[in-house]
Amino acid sequence: MSSSKQPLLIIVGYVWPEPNSSAAGYRMLSLIQLFIAKGWQVIFASAAELSPHRFMLSTIGVGEHLISLNDSSFDQWISEQAPDAVIFDRFMLEEQFGWRVEQACPAALRILDMEDCHALREARQSSFQRGVAVDAQALNSALAVREVAAIYRCDLTFVISEYEMQLLQQHYAVPAMLLCYCPFLLSDTQPGTSPDFNQRQHFITIGNFRHAPNWHAVLWLQQDIWPKIRHKLPDAELHIYGAYPPPKATALHNTRQGFLIKGWAADVADVMQQARVCLAPLAFGAGLKGKLLDAMRFGTPSVTTDIGAEGMATQNGWPGMIANNSEAIAEAAVALYQQPECWQLAQQLGYTTLDARFSLTTHETRIWQQLSSIKQGLAEHRQHNFTGLMLKHHAFRSTKFMGQWIEAKTRLAALTQPD
């Protein structure tokens, strides 16, 4: 993927990266750094508002560009940039901008970064709310049709979880050539200096309050799990961190019960290393969990569910404990909190899990070889993806004309608006 000029990657972002607010932000930053390390120039473009917690991309040499939805100004801009590759941050951005990229720069490699499988997350949430198991009907939702169609229309899709790699190939029959396993990528997985068992106290849970699985976990803790833990550990506190806490969350703050809503954590390392145990009771969700990655990085054993540990555990087990109901989660949390030897073994397992699963050096060569191979044989690669050609033929026309209609309607409204 080399040329005489510095290759250019444009990322069309759903939101501006917030690595201290969400796993999605952390992952996006790692992808940016992967391309920079390979000598690429990177421009991040988004129609989202500039968020207060966003990472200042200019500090690592990344260009920033504000774009508009349903506006042909994007077409001219990206044509002038002539990128070698474009990453769509979630399938909704491919729907919005995919046809524009193909039209303006057809030779650019088009990559979809799923973040996590939205269809799986929705299927699990809706099934959980109905009290039933996830079945084929739940997985084959309208959202799934849109997401899988976007995968086919792209040249390659980054998939964060091995479980989701299997789901896409086995349930949705997506060809392996369109998928690239790309988990969290850590440049340094060596354990640093971290407070030991006796230097830590209390529990922590962390996660963006806007994310439905995180909000449900907070409610589950408040209503059922934490009272059971507090009964056994009356002096313990649960420190709850997360970006954008709504009033319904801050209203749960209760000093007497040790249930403390802390809000946004400016330094995840600091708050995570103060806690003895991380709690992540996730009843539904998808992808990999940034909070559990951080727990491993900063030496904090965790208690989570099967869904929380999905795609992250190794054959050696989990760096903490896994439980799936209130009573079992509370018992596991109390046991881990009170047993130094068990806690220390879990901490060490967290470090080895990081190295085994998320080391950049483990995945970098494989990812880059797949990208390079597709880029070099792009025309042939696309011809072998007939379903993608078919979907682009039909879908791009519908989204193209819808986008052009919205743009024309907006301009007409502006012209007819009274002074």
**CATH, range 197-358:** 3.40.50.2000
Rounded CA gap, 148 and 179, in Å? Answer: 11
Long-range contacts of 390-394 (CB under 8 A, 24+ apart): 391/149, 391/152, 391/153, 392/98, 392/99, 392/102, 392/153
Domain residue spans in the chain? 8-187+360-416, 197-358
Rounded CA gap, 62 and 58, in Å? Answer: 5
pLDDT of residue 3: 46
Can you give the pLDDT of all 419 residues of the chain as single tens digits?
Answer: 444 589 999 999 999 998 877 778 889 999 999 999 999 999 999 999 988 889 999 999 999 999 999 899 999 999 999 999 999 999 999 999 999 999 999 999 999 999 999 999 999 999 999 999 999 999 999 999 999 999 999 999 999 999 999 999 999 999 999 999 999 999 887 777 889 999 999 999 999 898 999 999 999 999 999 999 999 999 999 999 998 899 999 999 999 999 999 998 888 999 999 999 999 999 999 999 999 999 999 999 999 999 999 999 999 999 999 999 999 999 999 999 999 999 999 999 999 999 999 999 999 999 999 999 999 999 999 999 999 999 987 765 666 666 666 776 777 676 777 66
Within 271-371, strands assigned E span 277-280, 302-304, 320-322
CATH topology match: 8-187+360-416 vs 197-358: yes
User: 414: burial class by Cβ within 10 Å (0-12, 13-18, 19+)?
Assistant: exposed
pLDDT of residue 419: 61
Rounded CA gap, 96 and 89, in Å? Answer: 11
- Pick the closest to residue 287 from 207, 342, 219 (CA basis): 207
pLDDT of residue 67: 96
Rounded CA gap, 108 and 38, in Å? Answer: 17
Rounded CA gap, 199 and 276, in Å? Answer: 8
- Pick the closest to residue 242 from 198, 220, 202, 212 (CA basis): 212
Distances (CA, A) of 135 to 171, 309, 325: 11, 21, 21
**CATH, range 8-187+360-416:** 3.40.50.2000
pLDDT of residue 2: 41
Asked whether the beta carbons of 290 and 243 are under 8 A apart, the reply is no
pLDDT of residue 193: 83
